[in-house]
Amino acid sequence: MDDRQFVRTYVVTGGDFQGGGRMSTDIKDTLKDLGFPPALIRRVAIAAYEAEMNVVMYARSATVTLRVTPDCIGLEVIDQGSGIPDVPLAMQEGYSTATAEMREMGFGAGMGLPNIKRNADEFVIASEVGRGTDLAIRVRVH
Amino acid sequence: MDLTPALGPRPPASETGESGLTLDEVRQVLDAETIWCPEPSVRAEWVVAADLMSDVLICQAPGRLLLTSLVNQQAIRTAAIMDFAGVVFVRGKSPRADVVELAQEKRVPVFVTALPTFEAAGVLYAALRARTGTRDGTSCDG
């Protein structure tokens, strides 16, 4: 078992539409520097971008941890926000509580969580109303 | 308006080994203004026309061209995350300086056309079909 591991932590601020996406593009650049293939990087970057914009739109802030091993790329998003009252409903494509302002920024079509799941090999979500949402995904390297 | 491909008939991709349109050809058929494009010979394989970046993020294929009226940093970040060939802003909407700076930083070519989305998409569709012939797998089905 190879115990090499790369870890980087980010803080994402809710409501920061202008800066939304900085984390995801940094994750993409980091994975590129680590030598992963473009298709794999794209899957992680898409999931990271969707997760990041969810925080920007719906949470006050979040701590995001990127964890990379030779076998797996993991992303853990722990946000402080209002939480999701009905997670299965939020997982349905097209379901959205986005405001007009969010849509003017190009997001809020109700595709975020399903698209994160689509790009992940493992997807776990837990949410508590009034506290926030924890999301963890893993993408296998091989 | 005339949707006849402005570039004239070309051999299908299977015969030339080439597919898509170069960014310079995109600029020509759309009569677009180049905002930033360091490599006009880069090819756009297909086009995604959308104003909701959530819809764009479902497409998995790289090398596409984003046609949008969403003139903000998220359009550039989305194109960068997706490894797209470039972004065309429609209806003559010129990007602000911060959007252009981000495009340069992320190396995303940017054009502006006076055409509205429907007509720009029609022109590009006709030009791409003339270049590549009928091909499968061009839909954005994730």
The answer to whether the Cβ–Cβ distance between A42 and B60 falls below 8 Å is yes
Strands A132-140 and B21-22: unpaired
What is the reported pLDDT for B140?
A: 57
The answer to whether the Cβ–Cβ distance between A115 and B80 falls below 8 Å is no
Provide ipTM, 2 decimals. Answer: 0.89
User: With bands split at pLDDT 50, 70 and 90, how would you rate the model's confidence at B135?
Assistant: low
pLDDT in tens, B68-112: 999 999 999 999 999 999 999 999 999 999 999 999 999 999 999
What is the reported pLDDT for B113?
A: 98
DSSP letter for B129, please: H
The answer to whether the Cβ–Cβ distance between B52 and A118 falls below 8 Å is no
Flag whether pLDDT at B12 surpasses 60. Answer: no
Residue percentage of chain B with pLDDT more than 90: 72
Q: Comparing A59-68, A104-113, B2-11, B98-107, which segment has the lowest mean pLDDT?
A: B2-11
What is the reported pLDDT for A1?
A: 46
Please answer whether residues B85 and B40 qualify as being in contact, where contact means their C-beta atoms are separated by less than 8 angstroms.
Answer: no
User: What b-and-e string marks burial along A41-57, b requiring 16 or more CB atoms within 10 Å of the CB?
Assistant: bbbbbbbbbbbbbbbbb
**More confident position, B72 or A103:** B72
What is the reported pLDDT for B24?
A: 98
Q: Comparing A126-135, B15-24, B124-133, which segment has the lowest mean pLDDT?
A: B15-24
**More confident position, B17 or A25:** A25
Task: Taking residues A100-123, report their average pLDDT.
Answer: 88
The answer to whether the Cβ–Cβ distance between A106 and B80 falls below 8 Å is no
User: With bands split at pLDDT 50, 70 and 90, how would you rate the model's confidence at B139?
Assistant: low
Contacts of B66 in chain A (CB under 8 A): none
Q: Point out the residue among B54, B62, B77 whose CB comes nearest to the CB of A25.
A: B77
Strands B33-36 and B46-49: unpaired
Contacts of B58 in chain A (CB under 8 A): 111, 115, 118
Answer yes or no: pTM beyond 0.90.
no
Of chain B, the end-to-end C-alpha distance in Å amounts to 32
Flag whether pLDDT at B52 surpasses 50. Answer: yes
User: From the candidates B51, B55, B60, B77, which should be mutated to test the interface with A, based on the most A CB atoms within 10 A?
Assistant: B77
The two tokens of residue A27 are: 């994750």
Q: Comparing A110-114, B28-32, B62-66, B87-91, which segment has the lowest mean pLDDT?
A: A110-114
Q: What is the dihedral of CA A62, B100, A39, B24, to 10 degrees?
A: 170
The two tokens of residue B134 are: 């009928």
User: From the candidates A41, A42, A117, which should be mutated to test the interface with B, based on the most B CB atoms within 10 A?
Assistant: A42
The answer to whether the Cβ–Cβ distance between B73 and A42 falls below 8 Å is no
